[in-house]
Each structure stands twice: as structure tokens, then as C-alpha cells.
Amino acid sequence: MSIPESAGQGLERPGINPVALKLALSNLSILDREKMEVRSEFLPEGPGNPEDKHYYTTEGIQSCPEAFEGAQCYTNHPTPTEEEEQPERDFHKLIGYWHDVKAIKDDTVAEGVLSIANTSAGRDAFAQIEHAIEYQQRYPVAEKPYCGPSILAGGEAYLGDYNGEQWSFVTKINRGGSIDLVTKTGTKARFNEIMESLREAAKNNNEKEMKRMKKKALKSLVDECDAAMKKAKEGQTADLEAAFGKMRKMHDEMPEDAEEKDKKEPKTKESEPAPPPSVTKESWKGPEPAVLDAKLKESDKKLTETQTTLTEAQKENAVLKRENELLKSEKQATALLKESGLPAASCDRLFRQMLGQPEADMKSIIAEEKAFRESLIAEAQGKFRESNPLGPGRTGDPSDGGDFVLQTCRDD
């Protein structure tokens, strides 16, 4: 596949010689099955996916060894929600790292060795890679691989023409990115990177790049909102909230281009159009002040009446609420006293104490009353034994030769 003659025309940077290659992962191979090490191409010179419009130059490929040596590898790129809530990425999705990264085939393709960790996620990923090798052997000319690596990183680029469209010709990829295993290969620009590119374009007064990045940011948000809406219908609203957060961020941080600034700048008297004859400053009088005053007075009156009614309703509601709470308390206290077995006089006295108290406090009041009555009985029995007219040890029980029984009670 060759690049059209228009690619790179009119650019100030010489020596780019782009040659497009499809990343079909035909060189995906296992180096060491026991260590779970895999060699794979991950970025070819040429156009990336049409949504991002990134064209990877020879210089961009040459920067890969420095950018991706030791780079981490995860399963899948982060979702919008994960990117917002956990920018440092998910530890449990980390499956390994890349080493021996180099540019091959005359600096037209970047490849590296993926060292996979012996974890549950790592073993699952290695199994999928083995399946991908079988897939590429069965479908050697497939348009898309079964699965493969996809870069997630920022970089430096300049604008150029490719097939009649403006693309970003990437000349350097920065460190700090990752190469992840995904089911759809190709780079995917993140929203934050798009906004950073937009701010950089505004800083350099690059109007064309600003407009292009604005369209890109809007499209990214629309796509995220569409996907989030589908999940929201199933009850999953996290992605939708993340998309709304990015929408607010774009509204707050979106720089203005020259056209938008012109709309906000006040017009001079020379350029200000004259008002139509039927609405001149001399002929328009507006509503009569007396009429407006009367309407305002009536409105104030209705507002005061409404506020008064609302206050009375709030007071009535408070009274009813208190009555309801007392009734519930009476019902609870009555039930607990009936279960206690205490005399009626004691129940009447305790009932007044228990009103308005929590259930635990009510039970505590009853328990204290029972303990008090038991202590009185024990005290009376002790005194009786000391002064027993029948003699020590006599209780007055008929079986004991007595003719009466001791009775004790508390006079309530």
C-alpha cells in the first residue's frame, strides 16, 4: 500500500519518506513459552486510525525505543470512567512490560518483546496471544488481527495534507505511555490529550489546528455519551457521569478562536446598525410606570399570603408530628408495662415517666422498679426474721407450726 503523492506536500519539514504498512501482526511470535515472552510489532510507519488522523513518520518510529523501553502493558485501554477516576490505571489489569524495543525494516516498524507476568490476568492474556497466532495462521490476509498491541501515549506532531485532509504527522512519541493488549488495534487519543493539544494550538495561535481539535474533542464526547447512554439504560450510570464531567471541563477550558473573540468584542459606533424607524429611542416608551407599580404591589401581596399559609402549615405539621410521636410512645409504654407484671399503682406512676423515652430507656425504668421492689422485700424479710415472735426460724407457715403467713408489699 503506497502513500498518495499529496501526502506531506507543502510541509516545511524535509526527509519524511512515509511508507504505509498495515499492522496485521504477521510477525507475532512466542519467544519463550515457559517465561511467557512474546515478540510483536506494535506500530508501523504510515496512517493510524482515521478518527484520530495521526500519521506516524520515520522519525516517530525512531523515537519508539526511547519512548516504550520498559513501558507497562495492560489488558485494554482505560474506559472514560476509569480514566477519570483512576488515571494511574488498574493494578489488576497490569500483565507485564515491554523490553528490547527497536525500529526494524529500515525504521518503518517498531517492535518489542512483551514479558508477561505469571498472574491470573497474565496467563489469560498469554492464552489469548496463543489463540491470536493460530488465528493469523488461519487468516493470514485478515484486515484486522484477533487481538494485538495498541499504543496509548502523547507525542509531538505538525500538520500536513494526507488524501486531501489535514492529519497530524507524528515526529516524536513521548515517554510515559503504555502498549496495551486490545481486540482492536490502532491508537486512540484520550480526551485529556486532545484538550492539551487544543491548548497548545491556542498558545501558538494555530487557528486551523484549534478548529480541528475542537471538532475532535466534540466527536470524542459525542461517542462517549452515546456509549454511556446505552449503559445507562441498563442501570450503569458511571460512564454517563464521567462524560458529563468531561463536557463541563471542555466548556470551562475550551480556548476561543479568533472568530469567537470577534463576536464578543463590542462593536464601534460606526459599525453599529441603526435601529429600525418603528423602534427608535425617541418613539419607544415601554409600559407605564403606574401599571408596573400596581402589578408589582399585587404580586407582593400574593407572595406574602403564600408565605403566611406556608408558615401556618409548617406549624400545624409540627404539632401533628409531636402528637403522633406521643401516641406511638404511649402505645409502646403500655405494652411494656403490661408485660412487666407490676402492680397497677406502679404502672400508673411509671407510665408518666416513660412517655417520650426511647424503648431502651423505658425497659431500663421498668427494670429499676423491679429491682427496687425486690430489695424492699428482701429487707422486710430480714427484719422479720430478726424480730420473729414465733421464735428463730419460724415463719408462721402452718407446716412450721405457725398460724399466719408473712406478706410484704410496697405501698404505692
DSSP-based three-state secondary structure for 340: helix
What does the pLDDT read at residue 40?
A: 92
Q: Mean pLDDT, the chain, as a whole number?
A: 77
What does the pLDDT read at residue 261?
A: 62
pLDDT digits (tens, 9 = 90+) for 21-60: 233 344 678 999 999 999 999 899 988 877 778 899 999 9
pLDDT at 195 over 70: no
Residue 65 · residue 102 · CB < 8 Å: yes
pLDDT at 87 over 60: yes
pLDDT at 357 over 70: yes
Owner of C-alpha cell 418613539? 283
Helix or strand run (H / E) with residue 136 = helix 120-138
Mean pLDDT of 335-339: 90
The band of 100, judged by pLDDT with boundaries at 50, 70 and 90, is very high
Lowest mean per-residue pLDDT among 75-89, 107-121, 164-178: 75-89
pLDDT digits (tens, 9 = 90+) for 292-321: 888 888 888 888 888 888 888 888 888 888
For residues 332 and 319, give the distance between their C-alpha atoms in angstroms, rounded to a whole number.
Answer: 20
Owner of C-alpha cell 408462721? 396
Q: What is the pTM of this model?
A: 0.45
| C-alpha cell, 7 | 501526502
Pairing of strands 165-173, 54-56: parallel
Nearest by Cα to 173 from 61, 72, 87: 61
For residues 152 and 71, give the distance between their C-alpha atoms in angstroms, rounded to a whole number.
Answer: 10
What does the pLDDT read at residue 36?
A: 96
pLDDT digits (tens, 9 = 90+) for 126-182: 999 999 888 888 887 656 678 888 888 888 888 888 888 888 899 999 888 899 998
Mean pLDDT of 88-92: 92
Strands (E), 139-268: 148-152, 155-162, 165-173, 178-182
Q: Mean pLDDT highest for which of 1-15, 69-83, 129-143, 184-198? A: 69-83
Residue 67 · residue 100 · CB < 8 Å: no
What does the pLDDT read at residue 313?
A: 85
